[in-house]
Chains A and B, each alone.
Chain A
Amino acid sequence: MALNQELYDAILNGDAKKARAATEAAIAAGVLPMALIQESMVPAMDEVGRLFESEEYFVPELLLAGRAMKVALELLKPLLAASGTKMAVRVVIGTVKGDLHDIGKNIVASMLEGSGFEVIDLGTDVSPENFVTAVVERKPHVICMSALLTVTMPAMKLTIDALQTAGLRTQVKVLIGGAPVTHQYAKEIGADGYSENANGAVGLVKNLLAAEVA
């Protein structure tokens, strides 16, 4: 059983108000932030992911759960910072140059945060140069790039090439996604992985990083 059933249920049911209340109560009761994250919040998002894979939950449920989780996380972040605790994995995410679509990217970011990763969201219309700068300055383990249009997809390859030119390609895993993107395209442009949905992206990040450690 999760440590905090109220928080677990609030996230599972996508209830941001109850997530806030449960988190505030837990903090007041002296529960350690990382324990809340690892024993209540991440298991809740894992269950949300399982329900999505089994087609009982859909994107709207994913999004509401992600928002509830984010509300809880925002309350915990100052406490984590004060104690010097850092998330083990850092992910930079953005929609590529020329593309303003962000809904899919936002869902992936929510799911990654819900899984306990630190997520730096660069927003939309992110140039290859800005991805490179983010890698230099923030030193992420993973970059996630999103594109919703076939005409903007080429920016994914340009970004990978820019990382190569800057001597950074081997320092970071690159994952891509978005409606027109395919596994084949990921291979063609030298990405490390592709996911067709947000839940898959989380699994992919975990698998890629586990493979590195092994």
Chain B
Amino acid sequence: MFLRLAADGLSMPVGADLVLHEEPDPESVRNSGPALGRVIERTARRWNTPLAIPLMDLRLEKADLLARIGVSVQDADAFHFTAPLDAATLATLCDGKAGSSCPGGTARDEALQYIASIPDLFPVGMAIGPFSLVTRLMADPIAAAAMAGRGQAPEDSDEVRLLFQCLQAAEAAIHRSVRSQIAHGARAIMICEPAANTSFLSPRQLKAGSSIFERLVMEPNLRLKAVLDSSACDLIFHDCGELIDPMVEAFAHRLHPVILSLGGSRKLWEDARLVPGDVVLYGNLPTKSFYSDGAMPIEEVIRRTRELLTNMKACGHPHILGSECDVLSVPDARETILKKVDAMMSVTAPSIPH
């Protein structure tokens, strides 16, 4: 299906936040399943796509996880573990039993259920990736990952010990989230790992043979892929961070998602050589800078879109034109952003002369 959509020239942003902010009270809608479902439906209709991609709210799994140890939704965003967890706390966090969801999680699931009832829409779920969730659970994940990358074991360092405990807890939380979304009708899950990048994981360490990318990113995501596979649910894998080629290759070949979504720093036509022919590349206009006409004038948006479409057609790799990430509605810049998203979507792929 995804290859067919790419071949048919589908183009679409991850735009639910833009549509959400057309509501008079976006925050109420965010926590109301049926209303959120209608926003996601309108988003899909707006850009004429069967893929109903939800809000990219990557706070939900953290909120649900921390609720298990009594941290409120309001406090969850700012909460970080600062010392290794005791056995009882870790067991509570890792308990496989479904707990009650925060309002945002419940709304997400109910919205999926609504979308799943619409025959011509394909319900897509969303979850933060395990490593990215770890980085939100710790105050200083980079140092911990760097120390682990140098070979420090959990027994040698409280920070490294906490790192791997958080990974255990993160995986458990995401598995619960994904299972719930599948139970509510998700046929694909978009796993977002924006932190799996060269700011958190040193290319110097990786080049020297460190296994840290494998242990913190690939292994947990492979386990997650197995969960999706067991439910015949497709994986859409998103990482908009700065990457090195081996990371792209690993995501594409070993996770083998149906769609690989990458950030604006990558040239997708060059990445095509790293990616199997049956993995659709999605993206990747730099929509994070659309708020600024100085940094990204509309003429440049059009030029880059044409360049991307021309080069993807020339290399022949399946591609769906889209945004490098969730396109956020920014106060005072909303119309500027929308204008550029619409301009991007209106550019059509040029024909390549035979």
Interface on A for B, CB 8 Å cutoff?
14, 56-61, 63-64, 67, 100, 103, 106, 124-125, 149-151, 153-154, 179-180, 182-185, 187-188
Contact = CB atoms under 8 A, between A and B. Distances in A.
Contacts of A57: 204
A154 B292 CA distance: 12
Contact of A59 (B78, B149, B202, B289): B202
29 contacts: A58-B202, A59-B142, A59-B198, A59-B200, A59-B202, A60-B142, A60-B146, A60-B149, A60-B201, A60-B202, A61-B202, A63-B143, A100-B78, A103-B140, A124-B78, A149-B328, A150-B330, A151-B329, A151-B330, A153-B291, A154-B331, A180-B288, A180-B289, A182-B295, A184-B295, A185-B295, A187-B294, A188-B292, A188-B294
Contacts of A58: 198-199, 202-204
Interface string B192-223: 00000011111111000000000000000000
Given A61-B202, A188-B294, A182 B332 contact: no
Interface residues of B, number: 31
A64 B142 CA distance: 9
Contact of A150 (B78, B146, B204, B288): B288
B227 to A, nearest CB: 29
B204 A56 contact: yes
Contacts of B141: 103
B333 interface: yes
Interface of B: 77-78, 135, 140-143, 145-147, 149, 198-205, 288-289, 291-292, 294-295, 328-333
A125 B75 CA distance: 13
B288 A103 contact: no
Given A58-B199, A59-B200, A60-B201, A150 B291 contact: yes
A151 B202 contact: no
B156 to A, nearest CB: 11
A149 B147 CA distance: 28
A59 B199 CA distance: 5
Given A150-B330, A154-B331, A64 B203 contact: no
Given A59-B142, A61-B204, A64-B143, A185 B78 contact: no
B288 A179 contact: yes
A158 to B, nearest CB: 11
B45 to A, nearest CB: 25
B292 to A, nearest CB: 5
A179 B202 CA distance: 18
A188 B296 CA distance: 14
